[in-house]
Structure 1
């Protein structure tokens, strides 16, 4: 009986893990810049997304973008477009694609690619002054991308 319970628990854990599969950065499927599938296999958390959006060591989106909804975050940037109404302009899949790798939508953009590991023009190795070696870790994890997308989905007019 105990063996059957342990086998059942193992199978359940395996199936649950298979259902929530993370997409590796090199396996992200872009369709006209959009990414339909969740990168983490889980829903994003807008509160965590706001932290990533505002934190310099993470996404630091606020360094380039401003929006009325982010007026409580100091020092909004003006380099990128305003994000007011972002959820009205772009679908969740399009926002996911923009956060993961905006260059798949806007070829000449200076926006960083937050979820890729190779194809960089001049990667740096932290603050050493030396070139980094690919593959590099992505700037954000799959779940952090999902969290930022969930936060951006709250940017309604």
Structure 2
């Protein structure tokens, strides 16, 4: 039974990866961060700022408000103070830099940052077994969050 379950999980992972390739989505392991930036969209299309705003606030997805404050989300409770306030993020970082930060912040800031990489499989050790090989956000959700952050100007 365990062998069948492991085979099924491996097949499901392969089908997901094949589906991502067929749809033009860049797989997490294929994202190239160069000079602190990911220049190309992970999906080949621009994200939706409105959807990104939702992902940003959703405590089961991005949960960005757990660490960051942003005036645009003042209707949300409990903004964090661990990370920098993101008002003016679009003035401080380019869209390509924002994408790199969301994809894998540790490769941009340092391994010491507590911000997770939202679209990387490089997540450290002792990962819960059911989460191995999974990203926190999908490529589309990353593009949506980047589109939202790109609206945050002073």
How far does residue 20 in structure 1 lie from its aligned partner after superposition?
A: 6.3
Distance in structure 2 (CA, Å) of the matches to 1:19 and 1:122? 31
**1:141 paired residue number:** 138
Which is greater in Rg?
1
Decide which of 124, 129, 134 is 1:120's aligned counterpart: 124
Distance in structure 2 (CA, Å) of the matches to 1:25 and 1:147? 16
Counterpart check, 1:55 vs 2:50: no
Q: Number of aligned residue pairs: give it.
A: 134
How far does residue 104 in structure 1 lie from its aligned partner after superposition?
A: 1.1
Q: Is the 8 A contact 2:117 2:123 kept in 1?
A: no
3-state DSSP of counterpart to 2:143? helix
The 1:29–1:55 alpha-carbon spacing in structure 2 relative to 1, beyond 3 Å, is: same
Distance in structure 2 (CA, Å) of the matches to 1:37 and 1:20? 15
Unpaired runs of at least 5, structure 1 = 1-17, 127-131
Structure 1 segments of 4+ aligned residues over 3 angstroms from their partners: none
**1:4 paired residue number:** none
Q: Could you give the per-residue CA deviations for residues 77-108 of structure 1, whole angstroms, max 9, x where no partner exists?
A: 11111101000000000000000000111012
Q: Which has the higher helix share?
A: 2
**1:83 paired residue number:** 86
Q: Is the 8 A contact 1:20 1:42 kept in 2?
A: no
Unpaired runs of at least 5, structure 2 = 1-20
* RMSD of aligned Cα (Å): 2.0
